[in-house]
Amino acid sequence: MQKIYYDKINNKEMIDITGKKTLEQIKNEYGESNYQELIIDENIEGYRITDKTLEKYDLEAERQAELAEREAEKQVLIQKETALKTKLGLTTEEFEDFKKIIKKL
């Protein structure tokens, strides 16, 4: 377990990898401020700061969402290429040659 402390006023984050420090210890080390504390299991959770707020997320779910997004983008590209290939009246081989020529330009 790790504890993440975020100083909203100074926009700084502190990570306690031991997970043992208290908010009072953080205040003594870094000074009084408006801190937010978050506890995460670094093996399965991550954190991010959004609009000056700490938020926790599931690493596997985030990874799966990114993979799904990349796959969707890939499918859109394939659809666009297919439409262009059809519009130009090219075979798949001719279209691949066309792409190679365009990349060299």
Q: pLDDT digits over 38-54, tens only?
A: 999 999 999 999 999 99
Residues 83 and 97 in one domain: yes
- Look up the domain containing 30 and give its range: 2-60
Length of the chain in residues, anyone?
105
Q: Could you list the mean pLDDT of each consecutive 10-residue stretch along the chain, which spans 105 residues?
A: 94 93 93 94 95 95 96 96 93 92 88
* Adjacent-strand bridge partners of 72: none
How far is residue 104 CA from its own chain's centroid?
Answer: 32
Same domain, 54 and 75: no
Q: Which candidate, 24, 16, 28, places its Cα nearest to that of 5? A: 16
End position of a domain, from candidates 60, 75, 96? 60
pTM: 0.67
